[in-house]
Amino acid sequence: MLQIKDLSFSYPSNTPVFAGLNLDLQKGERLAVMGPSGCGKSTLLSLIGGLLKPTSGSITNHFQKIAFVFQEPRLFPWLTVRENLETVLNSKADVGRIHEALEAVGLVDCEELFPEELSGGMKSRVSLARAMLYGGDLFLLDEPFAALDEALRRDLIGQLKVYLSQNEAAAIFVTHQKEDAEAFANRCFMLSPREKTESL
């Protein structure tokens, strides 16, 4: 479904982030991506999501619809939580689903709050609820639970796994927590930092 072959990528006037990266992902598979800060995990998700173009190599993506949870929750600051979620709905008739999605992330009482009234962890949960409402057959999740305590992370990982398997969706989940990777994924991909010598 997704095949990455010999992928290289550099930001303009910067050293390469990867060279010769190979990776594949099948329908319904849950992959964890780990690696030290700055090794290119977010860049890899942006390449897979089509927000960046490879410098060389190829990304063949047969998934139909991608839901992206960015590392920094990108909520509209002038809209309430409910209105932020409404932005991904096709019809107002779906509004009952907003309540369900907020229930899944444990934020039912927050519908009328604005993003600035939420903690970092709450914002990331709204972001996740928005991605679940949007739906898709591939979820790109960039450290969605980084700001949450362990009990909540465990609970959300459980909810997310149920959601993904009910919807036969695949996911790439970037995390720093080995326990989260083990709890979430079928497979783990370790992204190594580029050696200085390779970028010369």
Which of 34/131 has CB closer to ligand ADP?
A: 34
Stretch that binds ligand ADP, among 10-18, 96-104, 118-126, 178-186 (CB under 6 A): 10-18
158's contact among Mg ion, ligand ADP, none, with CB below 5 to 8 A by partner kind, is: none
Helix ranges restricted to H, the chain: 41-48, 81-86, 95-104, 120-134, 150-166, 178-184
Phi, psi of 3 (to 5 degrees): -135, 120
Which of 137/142 has CB closer to Mg ion?
A: 142
Cα distances from 56 to residues 10, 175, 199, 200, in angstroms, run 9, 26, 14, 17
CB of 43 to ligand ADP, least distance (A): 3
Asked if 27 and 170 touch (Cβ cutoff 8 Å), the reply is yes
Binding mask 150-189 for Mg ion (x = CB under 5 A): ----------------------------------------
Q: Which residues bind ligand ADP (CB under 6 A)?
A: 11, 14, 17, 35, 37-43
